[in-house]
Amino acid sequence: MMMAANHVSTALPKLIQLESGFAPAAPVSVAATGVSRALLSDIALKTAYILPQFTTEEIAKRMHLPQMVVAELLEVMRSDHLIEALGHTQQEGYRYSLSQRGRERAQRQLEICGYIGPAPVSLEAYTAMFEWDASQPRHTSPQQVEQAFADLVLDKASVEVAGMAVSSGRSLFISGPPGNGKTSIGRAIHSIMQGDIWVPHAIAVDSHIIHFYDTHCHHAVEAAARPGTVDSRWVKIRRPFVVAGGEMTLESLDMTYLPSLKYYEAPLHMKANGGTFLIDDFGRQHVEPSELLNRWIIPLEHRVDFLTLFGGQKIQVPFLLMLIIATNLRPEDVTDPAFLRRIGYRLTIDKPTKEGYNMIFRRYADRYQVRVSDGFLEALHRRYDQANKELRACEPRDLIERMRDICLYRGQSVTVNEELLELAWKAYFGG
């Protein structure tokens, strides 16, 4: 079943209905790709350049295009004397090689742009696809939120704030002492987001190529469909969860031009579209917090971002994601009122109470089927008091894992006792 969905954008690719949802339909001609014939021909020519001989099927596979579309490209290239037919193949097609003229042209094109790979989609199609996805009705229930946070020890109000942030699609600012679960909250929030999305291998902006699909950020899932029906320039992925920490700079939030390859790499927050972008350790970056805050004001307010290409050309891309900013610094030291007005929700995660710490400890011990006595926990809290250390929500996990490591090293079953705690404490805290 075809779906036009022109209510979102005329640039939206035609969609077909699969059992698992909608998918972009395979183009039936060069014109239907939404990308210029010249750009596709250049990629086909550069692909042919790295092959001593090639067939329509081989170029189609490398460019992720239907054979009928590639055949259309190769026929024009043959008539322009860029390729030469060597004879028929067993599949009733032709085997080709580059002509001298084609080889010289390919070398010139590689000097302009070194991209060889799946054919790109247009920036307009990329934008329309994400706008269409964002327009689809979704409902986040309190039960889903409670299930996502079942492994975390949080008060009911904090869980409800996180649920409202997901349900509304608004951003979330999390503050509090280190080691108390801010990153875990970000992951729990992301787990609530339902469904998969389609992302392109690459995006074309005029003659520029932006590499987009990234196996470090994107986890592909199988899309059950009849061969040749889905546009394989797109990849079906789980909604992405992308984390940027202290290494983030202003430059990393723009297009990265790769001089040796002469094409672009999309920034992390663009790759996070349709999912969650967590800025961890905010205020620890090698740039003033105010500069980073100013960088996010337009995306937060207008749901679009403006990126710059190498020559100074500005492009507009969607900013359709769940933005979570987490800091262990005081909010008043790293934010200002103008920024906080644009943040959807705010959440403060403080150190756990003694009871909360005990609950976290017992929950983590349950994973190893280990019983924890009240006496052991009392002894553990005396250690904290003697060392004048504050409780942190991450430390039950860390101490239990070190006691587990000791047990595995000694060749004994995993258990928890004060003798193991003595060594685990020294191994973890250093004394």
pLDDT in tens, 285-307: 888 888 888 888 889 889 999 99
Residue 237 has pLDDT above 70, yes or no: yes
pLDDT in tens, 390-406: 999 999 999 999 999 99
Residue 259 has pLDDT above 80, yes or no: yes
Has residue 25 been placed in a domain? Answer: no
Has residue 30 been placed in a domain? Answer: no
- 317 and 175: one domain? yes
Residue 205 has pLDDT above 80, yes or no: yes
Residue 115 has pLDDT above 60, yes or no: yes
142-151 average pLDDT score: 90
pLDDT of residue 4: 35
230-236 average pLDDT score: 97
Has residue 217 been placed in a domain? Answer: yes
- 139 and 242: one domain? yes
In the listed set 104, 119, 134, which residue is the last one of a domain according to the structure? 119
- 182 and 202: one domain? yes
64-85 average pLDDT score: 96
344-363 average pLDDT score: 93
- 320 and 235: one domain? yes
- 330 and 416: one domain? no
Residue 361 has pLDDT above 50, yes or no: yes
C-alpha–C-alpha distance, residues 286 and 251, integer Å:
11
% of the chain residues with pLDDT over 70: 97
pLDDT band, very low/low/confident/very high, at 5 (cuts 50, 70, 90): very low
Has residue 247 been placed in a domain? Answer: yes
% of the chain residues with pLDDT over 90: 72
* φ, ψ dihedrals at 177, nearest 5°: -60, 155
Residue 268 has pLDDT above 90, yes or no: yes
pLDDT of residue 9: 60
- 236 and 314: one domain? yes
Closest of 225, 223, 228 to residue 238, by C-alpha: 223
Closest of 92, 103, 84, 35 to residue 67, by C-alpha: 92
C-alpha–C-alpha distance, residues 199 and 281, integer Å:
28
Closest of 70, 65, 68 to residue 83, by C-alpha: 70
In the listed set 119, 148, 167, which residue is the last one of a domain according to the structure? 119
pLDDT band, very low/low/confident/very high, at 52 (cuts 50, 70, 90): very high
In the listed set 348, 373, 392, which residue is the last one of a domain according to the structure? 348
- 86 and 142: one domain? no
Structural domain of 209:
122-348
Structure-model confidence comparison of residues 3 and 295, the more confident one: 295
Has residue 185 been placed in a domain? Answer: yes
- 201 and 274: one domain? yes
Residue 154 has pLDDT above 80, yes or no: yes
- 205 and 240: one domain? yes
pLDDT in tens, 80-110: 999 999 887 766 568 999 999 999 999 999 9
Residue 58 has pLDDT above 80, yes or no: yes
CATH number at residue 45: 1.10.10.10
Comparing 8-17, 147-156, 253-262, 272-281, which segment has the lowest mean pLDDT? 8-17
The letter for the amino acid at 421 is: L
Structure-model confidence comparison of residues 187 and 137, the more confident one: 187
- 315 and 371: one domain? no
pLDDT of residue 431: 67
pLDDT band, very low/low/confident/very high, at 418 (cuts 50, 70, 90): very high
* DSSP 8-state secondary structure symbol assigned to residue 220: B
- 235 and 190: one domain? yes
* Domains: count for the chain: 3
Closest of 229, 12, 271, 217 to residue 121, by C-alpha: 12
C-alpha–C-alpha distance, residues 45 and 343, integer Å:
48
Has residue 26 been placed in a domain? Answer: no
CATH number at residue 154: 3.40.50.300
pLDDT of residue 43: 98
pLDDT band, very low/low/confident/very high, at 179 (cuts 50, 70, 90): confident
Neighbours of 63 (CB within 10 A): 23
- 340 and 364: one domain? no
Residue 202 has pLDDT above 80, yes or no: yes
Has residue 386 been placed in a domain? Answer: yes
**Cβ 113 vs Cβ 263: under 8 Å:** yes
125-131 average pLDDT score: 96
Residue 21 has pLDDT above 70, yes or no: yes
Has residue 71 been placed in a domain? Answer: yes
pLDDT band, very low/low/confident/very high, at 1 (cuts 50, 70, 90): very low
152-169 average pLDDT score: 90
Residue 6 has pLDDT above 60, yes or no: no
